Amino acid sequence: MQERDSVAIRFAGDAADGMPFVGAQFTATSAIHGNTVCTLPDPPAEIRAPAGTLPGVSGFQVHFGKLAVHTPGESLQALVAMNPASLKANLFDLEPGGLLIVNSDAFCAEEWEKAGYVANPLENGLMQGYRLVAVPMDQLNREAVARVKLSSREVERCKSCFALGVAFWFYERPLETTLAWIHDTYAKNPPMIEASTRTLKTGYQYGETCSAPLGHYRVGKAENSAGRFRQITGTKALALGLLAAAQQTNLPLVFASFPLPPANELLHQLCEWKQPGVKVIQAEDDLAALNLALGASFGGALGVTATTGPGLALQSETLGLAVISELPCVVIDLQRAGPSAGMPTKSEQADLLQALHGRNGECPLIVLAPATPADGFAIVLEAVRLAIRYMTPVIVLSDTFLAQSAETWRVPSLQELPEMGVTHAVPTGNGSSAFLPYERDTHLARPWAVPGTAGLEHCTGGLEKEERTGNVSYDPLNHQRMVAMRARKIAGVADELPPLEVQGPAHGELLVIGWGSTFGAIRTATERCRSKGLAVASAHLRHLNPLPQNVGAILRCYRRVLVPELNAGQLCSVLRSAYLIDAISLSQLQGQPFLLSEIERKIEELVIS
């Protein structure tokens, strides 16, 4: 028995090997067992890559521990490889002496040659530096389900349960959560319930009987604060945030989206839940989706769409219409590697400048970004609150990594949710007083007038509005006033934003600042550097436009500022131009999250030099 504070394990195999299922079940079980978790699904970009080849490898990494876990893990302590291609694609991430579980039945000459090996890697000495467990999974799976009447395809599907059972034994994970999932999922297919249960237990028993010389591992439970906890993915957090926002505002929710990966998962999730008062529409393209959402907002509902980088580019014209007509709506951009189709299943943060400036004319709007998968819940609530309060579109910048990964989340009570009362305009009742659709309140927001309400008739559209009346105007001075008014309205949001918080020394040698999914890597890397005695602090931006009011003051408290981003330095450029500081960009454009070592090396280079 070995005690560990945390373990990073990766399940890898062909697309048909069910690694997303194995990873998701291992994550859910670990969360219920009391561990903190952070995951990294890594599906192939090719829809039908040839079986047994490197492009077809699908992976799912789970980092679980008894302490706070903010990243999917720097290196692997365990790897489950279902075929030679998955072994070759992932072995370099497994630390020396790490646990290596392989399906030995898949290592025939045809398969290891297809993966690029010149000899069987299990027999030529390449595995000597690892704790190898070679398991004939195909054979043992067939034997386990031999008495159950299944098709050959169903027999093959059960193999993933065998791999999961072996991993459960090595890390002392209970079987009950997965057994309950099997019963719920195959409720109408009793043979699959029996077969999957048999195979899962057979894999667990194989660990007990054949792996004793290697021992197994124990990761203690985390000490969480009081409350109700669950494991949640970034996509589910966003979906729950939208449902909570509709509840808090007492508005019907209209969610329109085009199924473009990874945004399609949010569309599927809301369809699956079938909540009352929620309309889910699959549009013919991303422009139509935003048009539908904006039309719903014009009608007094909560209009929302989800897209990704290419779709956000298509939506730029309608975003301009939302800005000039001053209607509330929310656009969730799940960023992926680009440009164009790029790498559809890989993560990137390259849409920041597009969100800030990617529209014609002077067209400011609010831009937010969640820091973790679970933070998507809170950031969507904030987006809806600000959209309604300031009568403006809001863009939420998540990304593929945040959407697909999972973590432990404390479920908030209803009393903890923000108040979001909505007041639609009402007629004055004074016949001599005409309705002024662009009259401003203290936030410079115009009234939200539901069409069809007697006494609230007014003009709208994409042409410039006359101040207060909203009539079409080509007056030069009026245009200048309206452009300035819309800009002041968005800038004024900063007055109510919480100040940017700093982890570490309040002034000194180096500040590492980021946004979005770099949160975990930045925080963990700076904590490790401080434990080595380095004077380094970190800060993370969730409000990207406008920025919190104290950002400039914080940046000037440090001799150097480092900005790690999964792009070519977009936030770094914004901070340089806004605050005239010599910020240093740390760029990574590989479709994967930052490794801790990448940020740690740069910190040491800047502090020690």
- Write down the domain spans for the chain: 2-219, 230-416, 423-496, 502-608
Please give the share of the chain, as a percent, with pLDDT higher than 90. Answer: 81
Rounded to an integer, the average pLDDT of 425-443 is 82
pLDDT at 374 over 70: yes
Rounded to an integer, the average pLDDT of 320-335 is 97
Per-residue confidence band for 429, with pLDDT thresholds at 50, 70 and 90: low
The whole-angstrom separation of Cα 219 and Cα 374 is 23
pLDDT at 244 over 90: yes
Cβ atoms within 10 A of the Cβ of 229, count?
Answer: 17
Q: Where are the beta strands (DSSP E) in 53-183?
A: 58-65, 76-81, 94-103, 131-135
For residue 190, give every residue at least 6 positions away whose Cβ sits within 8 Å of its Cβ, in sequence order, or none. Answer: none
pLDDT for the residue numbered 460? 86
The whole-angstrom separation of Cα 58 and Cα 107 is 17
pLDDT at 215 over 90: no
Residue 589 burial (CB < 10 Å; 0-12/13-18/19+)? middle
Q: Which amino acid is at 90?
A: N
Rounded to an integer, the average pLDDT of 513-522 is 97
pTM, rounded to two decimals = 0.93
Per-residue confidence band for 433, with pLDDT thresholds at 50, 70 and 90: low
pLDDT for the residue numbered 518? 97
Distances (CA, A) of 568 to 72, 94, 352, 586: 23, 29, 11, 8
The whole-angstrom separation of Cα 143 and Cα 160 is 14
Q: Kindly report which listed range (159-168, 323-332, 449-458, 475-484) carries the lowest average pLDDT score.
A: 449-458
pLDDT at 49 over 90: no
348, two tokens: 């990137």
Chain mean pLDDT for the chain: 93
For residue 142, give every residue at least 6 positions away whose Cβ sits within 8 Å of its Cβ, in sequence order, or none. Answer: 155
Q: Which of 30-34, 96-100, 395-399 has the highest mean pLDDT?
A: 395-399
Can 2-219 and 502-608 be said to share one CATH topology? no
Radius of gyration, alpha carbons of the chain: 27
Rounded to an integer, the average pLDDT of 598-607 is 95
DSSP string, 161-181: HHHHHHHHHHTT--SHHHHHH
Q: Which amino acid is at 461?
A: G
Pick the CATH number of 2-219 from 3.40.920.10, 3.40.50.300, 3.40.30.10, 3.30.70.2740: 3.40.920.10
Residue 341 burial (CB < 10 Å; 0-12/13-18/19+)? middle
Distances (CA, A) of 75 to 59, 92, 142, 539, 606: 14, 9, 33, 25, 24
Rounded to an integer, the average pLDDT of 232-248 is 96
pLDDT at 432 over 90: no
For residue 265, give every residue at least 6 positions away whose Cβ sits within 8 Å of its Cβ, in sequence order, or none. Answer: 235, 403, 404
Pairing of strands 6-13, 58-65: antiparallel
The whole-angstrom separation of Cα 360 and Cα 479 is 15
Per-residue confidence band for 222, with pLDDT thresholds at 50, 70 and 90: confident
pLDDT for the residue numbered 434? 83
pLDDT for the residue numbered 408? 87
Per-residue confidence band for 211, with pLDDT thresholds at 50, 70 and 90: low
Rounded to an integer, the average pLDDT of 282-293 is 97
The whole-angstrom separation of Cα 211 and Cα 539 is 45
Torsion of CA 449, 453, 454, 455, to 10 degrees: 0
pLDDT for the residue numbered 100? 94
Query: How many CA atoms are closer than 13 Å to the CA of 592, on its beta-carbon side?
Result: 16
Q: Where are the beta strands (DSSP E) in 458-557?
A: 502-503, 508-515, 536-541, 543-545
pLDDT at 48 over 90: no
pLDDT for the residue numbered 47? 72
Q: What are the strands of the beta sheet with 558-565, ordered from one edge?
A: 502-503, 536-541, 508-515, 558-565, 584-587
pLDDT at 200 over 80: yes
Rounded to an integer, the average pLDDT of 355-379 is 97
The whole-angstrom separation of Cα 126 and Cα 270 is 47
DSSP state of 538: E
pLDDT at 323 over 60: yes
pLDDT at 536 over 90: yes
DSSP state of 472: B
Rounded to an integer, the average pLDDT of 229-257 is 95
pLDDT for the residue numbered 213? 60
- H/E segment holding residue 256: strand 253-257
Distances (CA, A) of 499 to 143, 554, 576: 61, 10, 20
Rounded to an integer, the average pLDDT of 22-43 is 92
Q: What is the pLDDT of residues 546-563, one digit of tens each?
A: 999 999 999 999 999 999
pLDDT at 592 over 80: yes
- The arrangement of secondary structure in 502-608, i.e. its CATH architecture, is 3-Layer(aba) Sandwich (3.40)
Of 73, 61, 75, 136, nearest in space to 101 by CA: 136
- H/E segment holding residue 155: helix 152-157
Pairing of strands 302-307, 329-335: parallel
Residue 384 burial (CB < 10 Å; 0-12/13-18/19+)? buried
Residue appearing with tokens 């968005």: 490
pLDDT at 24 over 80: yes
Give yes or no for a contact between 216 and 171, defined as CB atoms under 8 angstroms apart. yes
Rounded to an integer, the average pLDDT of 350-365 is 96
What's the CATH fold of domain 230-416? Rossmann fold (3.40.50)
Bridge partners (DSSP) listed for residue 21:
none
pLDDT for the residue numbered 212? 52
540, two tokens: 């993370």
Per-residue confidence band for 288, with pLDDT thresholds at 50, 70 and 90: very high
Per-residue confidence band for 339, with pLDDT thresholds at 50, 70 and 90: very high
The whole-angstrom separation of Cα 354 and Cα 402 is 19
DSSP string, 551-601: HHHHHTTEEEEEEEESSSSHHHHHHHHHH----EEEE--SSSPPPHHHHHH
Give yes or no for a contact between 537 and 505, defined as CB atoms under 8 angstroms apart. yes
For residue 544, give every residue at least 6 positions away whose Cβ sits within 8 Å of its Cβ, in sequence order, or none. Answer: 352, 355, 356, 367, 368, 369, 397, 515, 571
Rounded to an integer, the average pLDDT of 573-580 is 97
Give yes or no for a contact between 243 and 380, defined as CB atoms under 8 angstroms apart. no
Q: What is the pLDDT of residues 440-479, one digit of tens each?
A: 999 999 999 999 898 898 888 999 999 999 999 999 999 9
